Amino acid sequence: MPLIRHFPKALVLSAFLSLPTAGAAQDSALRIVAEPAAATLQVGETLPITVRVVDANGETVALDLRFAAPRNVLRFRDGVLQAYRAGEFEIIVTAVMSAGAEGAPALLRIPITVTWPPVERVDVNASGARLYVGTTLTHDPVAFHADGTPRPDLIVDWSTSNVNVATVDRFGTVVATSTGEVTISASIDGAVASTTGYEVVDFPATALTIRGGADAARTGDVLRFEAVGTGPSGVIEGLPMTWAYTFVPDDSINAPGASAIVEDGAFVAEVPGRYTVLALSGPLTARHTVLIQGRDVIQEVELQGRGSVVNQHTSDLWVFEGVDGRDYAITGTWSADGWAYFWDVTDPTGIVKTDSLRIDARTVNDVKVAPNGRYAALSREGASDRRNGVVILDMADPAHPTIASIFDTHGVTGGVHNMFATDDYLFALANGDKYVIIDVRDPYDPKFVSEYNHPNSRIHDVWVHDGIAYSSEWQTGVVVVDVGNGQWGGSIENPVYVTNVAYPVGATHAAFPYYQESTGKFYLFLGDEISGGRGRSWAGEGTDNQPYDPETGRGGVQGRMDGYLHVIDFTDPENPKDVARYEVPGAGAHNIWVEHDMLYLAYYKGGLRVVDVSGELMGNLGHQGREVAVYKSQDPDGYYKNQVSVWGPQPYKGHVFFSDMNSGLWAVKLQPRSRPIS
């Protein structure tokens, strides 16, 4: 049998290398060799590795090879290895044998050791500027490599120049014990940064009070308190403050412990109860008690209609108003011979398939339609001629689109995973490396405009809002580029880098930018995509993501997924803050949409999730009672029967449309909240 290994798409990189030289017969004498046989390199470096199949005489044999490695760690393309994270890893190489061939060379494991580059500088960020006897300051160190990239997972050695004046623990928390001068230092890999020397003086305040906030709120509401210290001369500015709280639950069974966050006076509770917020400085303590009630946002959700696809995997969707005034949807297919389907969804209770189109591709991963409905685009991966690119459709007749052109140059030849469409321009990913901007004002004659390729980074998705492109780039996080906003000097012809928003998980799959009118905040909703259940108690089996085998009774089960939604406060682009999260354990986040303070999230096995994201966001949204509705698209006739795998959501004209990999297009509707009968 052919030796073809199947790997979950978000855990591995995979590539085929076709060896050019014909060789010996395919038998057990064949082996795979690599030069070098093992590799060591630094994060960001590249290293050529030659891999080939040889026979017993050492002659090269022409066989395709497949490479697998941790996808968010290593990248191997065109014989060049690049590393993104330090650690001990391996590349697994297998040979693809022709049909009917007996035997295969044993797989080859190439050990890879990745180290971090040296730290060039360390910034130590103190929580305050002054130290008084009996007060505490915390320190948040950030280390940078020579190229300006931050070092994650810091191991810091802290020291104090005078333990009689102030002590420091292994987390950088400094406690002043007596008057005098002291310097606190942090050391990482031999790079040392010292804080400005503190001159500790006696504590000056005689009273401490809490202002602001509220006496009552709901779970998830962010309250902002201010602690004010006063002395004989009036208000004392800059007192180091420690915030804490005590908690009495309203139900000791449901909430046996404290479930809230208080940070720099910002407080949010995750379960109902009575919370007392505490401000502590030196010998003084102030308190304010808040009664927290449940959020009470649940709405019923009802199925409206279906566009059933059960003979293959469905990928993404796009719902739009056609130029004829009716409503339509397009759905793609995943690893299903290049099919795209077109639906009339004007009546969501009676969805009608109007047409289908097969293009030269293995997967139509993404579908997009211009806001004005004039053109659409289908992404191509796995084309038979390996040219891939995007297929641009003329949508003059939305029910029966026609192919206007194919754009397959400037790197998109290697495969287009995702896209973003404006009326005039199409942003298309190119071989997982960059995005290309295409002028589609004439869909029959698309033209290359420009591109953006972030160094040492792999890209998965791009979303454009107000002339700013937000590209999701796995371990790099979100890369923000001015593509016409102009505030940073960028234009559609000349994209200009703005900033990079990284976060610790390093699996940035999708980003949705959202301006919240009620607070004036600008949030980025960022989703992880992590396949498999490695390290989890529910890790899955080797037959996940394979068709059901009636002889063994195995297979037909959607693969395990992991990862969660990160919420970044991006109101100040120069100072983005990771403020909140939403997670469904054992499921795995995928595509995102936010509209009118409501989050719609495709959570694979967790189904469609609808979450209230009104007001300032902070903490764990899933624990705060913000879940409005959950819908699980189980279909007994599905590609994997009764297996839920929601791919992408889109709210549209009062309904929520979403695609499920196993069952196609769905339309549901949130019902008005019922009022209790008095």
Per-residue pLDDT of 62-120, as tens digits, reads 888 888 888 668 888 889 998 888 999 999 999 887 766 666 777 899 999 999 998 88
Position 557 scores a pLDDT of: 84
Q: Which residue has the higher pLDDT, 196 or 407?
A: 407
**DSSP code for 474:** B
Distance of alpha carbon 608 from alpha carbon 587, whole angstroms: 11
Q: Say if residue 558's pLDDT is above 90.
A: no
Q: How far is CA 665 from CA 352, 600, 602, in A?
A: 11, 15, 13
Per-residue pLDDT of 559-568, as tens digits, reads 888 888 999 9
Stretch 497-512: mean pLDDT: 87
Backbone phi, then psi, for 623, in 5-degree steps? Answer: -90, -10
- For the record, the structure tokens of 327 come out as 């409503």
Q: Give, for 564, the enclosing helix (H) or strand (E).
A: none
Stretch 298-311: mean pLDDT: 97
Number of residues that this document lists for the chain: 678
Q: Say if residue 14's pLDDT is above 90.
A: no
* Residue 95 CB neighbour total at 10 angstroms: 24
**DSSP code for 596:** T
Q: How far is CA 360 from the centre of its chain?
A: 30
Residue 614: CA count within 13 A, CB half-sphere: 11
**pLDDT > 70: what percent of the chain?**
92
Per-residue pLDDT of 417-444, as tens digits, reads 999 999 999 999 999 999 999 999 999 9
Q: Say if residue 25's pLDDT is above 50.
A: no
Position 15 scores a pLDDT of: 36
CB 281 within 8 A of CB 239: yes
In terms of average pLDDT, the best of 122-131, 405-414, 527-536, 548-557 is: 405-414
CB 565 within 8 A of CB 601: yes
Q: How far is CA 670 from CA 58, 302, 592, in A?
A: 66, 7, 17
Distance of alpha carbon 626 from alpha carbon 221, whole angstroms: 10
Check residue 56 and give left, alpha or beta (phi > 0: left; psi -120 to 50: alpha). alpha
Position 282 confidence tier, pLDDT thresholds 50, 70, 90 = very high
Position 10 confidence tier, pLDDT thresholds 50, 70, 90 = very low
Position 6 confidence tier, pLDDT thresholds 50, 70, 90 = very low
Q: How far is CA 465 from CA 213, 308, 450, 470, 484, in A?
A: 33, 32, 18, 8, 10
Q: Is residue 554 packed enough to be buried (19+ CB in 10 Å), middle (13-18) or exposed (0-12)?
A: middle
Amino acid (one-letter) located at 136: T
Query: Which of 114-118, 146-150, 569-573, 634-638 bottoms out in mean pLDDT, i.e. has the lowest?
Result: 146-150
Position 665 confidence tier, pLDDT thresholds 50, 70, 90 = very high
- For the record, the structure tokens of 355 come out as 């047409």
Position 446 confidence tier, pLDDT thresholds 50, 70, 90 = very high
Q: What is the DSSP string of 478-490?
A: EEEEESS--TTS-
- For the record, the structure tokens of 549 come out as 């085998």
Distance of alpha carbon 639 from alpha carbon 662, whole angstroms: 5
CB 272 within 8 A of CB 254: no
Q: Say if residue 466's pLDDT is above 50.
A: yes
Per-residue pLDDT of 203-261, as tens digits, reads 999 999 999 999 999 999 999 999 999 999 999 999 999 999 999 887 766 666 657 88
Position 673 scores a pLDDT of: 84
Q: Say if residue 48's pLDDT is above 80.
A: yes
Query: Which of 139-153, 557-571, 590-604 bottoms out in mean pLDDT, i.e. has the lowest?
Result: 139-153
Q: CA nearest 419: which of 327, 523, 526, 510?
A: 510
Mean pLDDT rounded to a whole number for the chain: 90
Strands ordered across the beta sheet of 521-528: 508-516, 521-528, 565-569, 577-582, 619-620
The two counts, helices (H) then strands (E), for the chain are 0, 61
Position 179 scores a pLDDT of: 97
Per-residue pLDDT of 321-361, as tens digits, reads 999 999 999 999 999 999 999 999 999 999 999 999 999 99
Distance of alpha carbon 530 from alpha carbon 504, whole angstroms: 13
Check residue 607 and give left, alpha or beta (phi > 0: left; psi -120 to 50: alpha). left
Q: Give, for 73, the enclosing helix (H) or strand (E).
A: none
Q: Say if residue 674's pLDDT is above 60.
A: yes
